[in-house]
Structure 1
């Protein structure tokens, strides 16, 4: 049985490690998983949903299995705290997200469009070569909103509910979605399982992110009412059941309009309008980064509470 205190303390320490150290510069476990998943794809790929299910089960199941072994081997007390902290640090990407957001805003303020375009792929998969300054600001802002949920809130919540296996398993699910969860010729069927699994894994975290965004809207000059109104009115029009929630709530909190023509390397999508007001500027991007930082801290508090509730439920 997981100890609720060890889990909660480990999550907090993992968050602190991410804030102080950021992502490991070399030998990042997520990068290693990506390489292993790519090698596995060479063996499992077929233009078929069943092959994609097999790929997902093997890749994610292996990581969850490692998490279970780590949990059993670490026991309770300091060992469990350390294991949870290291797993959380590995899975989180909050500091890197905030740092890249600030760097993007700095380059746009300086008029360095080439530098901003060079930086955009570290945030999202859009084609930076076709974007002007406003387009780069909008792309970065939307990515900040979505990745606040994916890279910070979701790992913490999964860790609170399921400990080390939950943290590592979620990161595996999210990484696979980023690798193969596309609607293109190669992955339309093979990547179906990865995309749907990621949707399910993020259903609750995205909504927690939306609620935290609404609650914290005053720190960026917005209101909870405007954030919730945009969420309620616009989120359902987005093609993603989760990205729509976090982007709409962010748009409402900031008082800006997101969505519209969105160009990826694999094609063009016409996204629905989220929020109301003017298109986002560099100043709005900086406000979004500030909101992301606040939501991440709020998520730690929520995760600690959830870990305590789950621990009491387990003992009962």
Structure 2
């Protein structure tokens, strides 16, 4: 049976902060707006227990912030479709094609806001302790470990920066990495100078323990071939991220898995915009994702207007 073909002014791929903000602005411009999300609305931020760095909120749970933004977008007519997986995209030319399991959407403009996934702690117990001691965002969840023992897993700049940040909360902090540091020496030296910090290199985390919440981890020293248990209240995992861009790799060149696009969020394909964590940029925060979503939607609107007016320069 042939799939139904449906026209949309804008198709937004991803319903995280960038995608939902784009939907809000596109809806306010009276554009027929569809948001496709193959997982849960909100992405990673939906699981954040207490966000304290989003303007206008002393503290807000990720699910509450996302629910408010989703309601705003839908109030202006945006349609959000969860769990309809995208099978293929054709971004060059006009209209753009986004084919899902159930439909073929023809769009005048596409905003890619598909986000990224942090590499998970590769242990079978990870799911049991997710948000119960195992975390992936120190800015989101670090404050809840005030005066606690914290472990950070990873050896790159992101992990060392996270460890330096978390020392403001921790009574003691372990930095655990399976090999040598890959971070810059300035950040590493700052960490070494902190009396709260114990650095365990050439060390692997082998197991997690605890009842309702993480309480200890087993670590293995590859140099001495010995294993020990460490009492910890929480572990922050920072072993890299995987941008959700594989779907677009045939049509857009990538840089380390991300889509090159300037602060205007325009990609090399007219009418295709990249917003949020999928875009090549230095700073990735909720606020910058919202800014990208705003920019992408407003310029997508201008692009559509220019095409309808016969102006091909956009």
Q: Which interval holds the TM-score relative to the shorter structure?
A: under 0.3
TM-score relative to the length of structure 1:
0.24
Structure having the higher strand fraction is 2
